[in-house]
Amino acid sequence: MEEAEVDKRLEQVLDEQDPELLWDMRKQNSGRHTEYDEFLNRCKEYIASSVETAVDERRHDSIADDEVIVHLATALSVRDLHEQVSSRCPEGTKIPGIQWLRMQFWPRRPTAKTAARYTGKLKVKYMVQARQFRADHVDCHYASALFRYEKECAIMFRDHVTLVSMDDKHTIKVGEPGCPVAAAERGKQVLVAMGKKLAVADHDFTRLSLTPSVNLFIDVPEKIDESFHRGQVCISFKENAFQPSTPVRHVTELHSELTDMNLDGKPILMLYTDGGPDHRVTYMSVQLSIISLFLSLDLDYVCAVRTPPKHSWKNPVERIMSIINLGLQGVGIMRKEIENENKLTSCGGLKSVREMAEKVPELKDEVLGAVQPSIKLLRNLMERLKLKDLRFKTYDPASDDAIDDMWRKILQVKCTHFVSNNNILCQVFLI
């Protein structure tokens, strides 16, 4: 204990750099400061040859005097770097210790007190790999240009347009009765009262799950170089077995949200979505759903654009997902027990749950009722979140009757005739 106390006080002296307590005796080491120059030069050559192997999207940080700090990827550790460079040094070269080599790095946080212990002779540091690799696609430029045109059009008619960014968040698993599972896949530290224990099940297999559908009603700026990440966020939670995400369900919920916020009076609606099957505008089911929404709201113009393939990160609503993750931290989700519990526990997945509901019709209402407490909890959490001081809003998922009413709107479209061209059947509509 005495030794630990001495070490603690010595560390404090080194960190504070008080000249009355600390004398720098390194100036007495004349003739030794060039002892490892050859090894340092070999290190610099190794670093220079490894720049192109960096794994993150930023391969360097700028510092003073136009120098840069390289993010080294090929060396697995300081020990590995020491061995790699040592093997390249000519025979007879003096090799320093691993700890000495560590102190020659650039500090990870230059503002920290411990940064004074690093010399910075090697412009290199370690960092966590950033998982932001983005695959390329031949249509990326054209799809990005379409989004720019959509934003320019929205700015031109900003007093008459509603611009909506739509997407579904990652599935939230619902645990079995008495066995909650974590709502968020990747956890962070949260506040817990003294004496309390924050624990959920150590597995992730569940029969039921919820999908949050997130819509961002963008406040259209006056200039295109201003932010398109401001506006009202609306969220609805759907049970995946009996409330699956479909194009017509999305537009039905969008219709409800537009009506609630008194935005249904604007004659122009613009949508921006990813390339998922529920939003891909090249699918006939998505096109018919948008036409149904067009007729239901009596709009003058609808523009629907999708993100470039493999580039869903361009969707503005994607930035909302990180805020939602904050609300899901430290939360365990589980369902209530139902009357036909033995029927449900015999099912292994969503498909088997739906097949069982065909044999036991009351199972559907029981399952939807069993997840309502979890949905209520999640809605309360989401309504406590804000985007630029504007609180999130939550809505009920679209009912089957509302979806049927929306789908019937397509019957207002009258078919005139069919045109056959090169064995492709084209149908001409008259609204």
In a domain, 357, yes or no: no
- Is residue 268 very low, low, confident or very high in pLDDT (cuts 50, 70, 90)? very high
- Based on the domain organization, do 216 and 308 belong to the same domain? yes
What average pLDDT does the structure give for the chain? 79
pLDDT of residue 427: 44
Interval 315-352: pLDDT, tens: 999 888 888 888 887 778 888 888 888 888 888 878 88
Which has more pLDDT, 300 or 16? Answer: 300
Other Cβ atoms closer than 10 A to 159: 8
pLDDT of residue 428: 39
Which has more pLDDT, 95 or 17? Answer: 95
* pLDDT at 22 exceeding the cut of 80: no
pLDDT of residue 150: 92
Interval 386-404: pLDDT, tens: 898 899 999 999 998 999 9
- Based on the domain organization, do 158 and 274 belong to the same domain? yes
Residues near 390 by Cβ (< 8 Å), separated by ≥ 6? 230, 231, 232, 233
Q: Give me the CATH number covering residue 198.
A: 3.30.420
The boundaries of the domain holding residue 56 are: 32-125
Please report where in the chains the tokens 């065909």 appear, as a residue.
358
In a domain, 316, yes or no: yes
- Based on the domain organization, do 251 and 103 belong to the same domain? no
pLDDT of residue 415: 57
234-251 burial, b if ≥16 CB within 10 A, otherwise e? bbbbbbbbbbebbbbbbb
- Based on the domain organization, do 284 and 411 belong to the same domain? yes
- Based on the domain organization, do 297 and 227 belong to the same domain? yes
Average pLDDT of the segment spanning 27-49: 74
Interval 110-142: pLDDT, tens: 777 777 777 877 777 655 555 555 667 788 888
Q: How far apart are the C-alpha atoms of 295 and 293, rounded to whole Å?
A: 5
* pLDDT at 282 exceeding the cut of 70: yes
Domain stop point among 102, 125, 148: 125
Other Cβ atoms closer than 10 A to 341: 14
* pLDDT at 384 exceeding the cut of 60: yes
Domain stop point among 95, 125, 155: 125
- Based on the domain organization, do 48 and 117 belong to the same domain? yes
In a domain, 399, yes or no: yes
Average pLDDT of the segment spanning 275-290: 88
In a domain, 350, yes or no: no
In a domain, 133, yes or no: no
pLDDT of residue 278: 87
Domain stop point among 69, 102, 125: 125
pLDDT of residue 247: 92
Which has more pLDDT, 18 or 410? Answer: 410
* pLDDT at 191 exceeding the cut of 80: no
- Based on the domain organization, do 241 and 308 belong to the same domain? yes
- Based on the domain organization, do 332 and 207 belong to the same domain? yes
- Based on the domain organization, do 327 and 303 belong to the same domain? yes
- Based on the domain organization, do 60 and 189 belong to the same domain? no
- Based on the domain organization, do 91 and 187 belong to the same domain? no
Q: How far apart are the C-alpha atoms of 34 and 29, rounded to whole Å?
A: 10
- Based on the domain organization, do 97 and 203 belong to the same domain? no
In a domain, 18, yes or no: no
Number of domains the chain contains: 2
Q: Can you tell me whether residue 105 is helix, strand or coil?
A: coil
Average pLDDT of the segment spanning 174-195: 65
CA distances to 57, 379, 417, 420, 422 from 425, in Å: 47, 46, 11, 5, 8
In a domain, 171, yes or no: yes
In a domain, 149, yes or no: yes
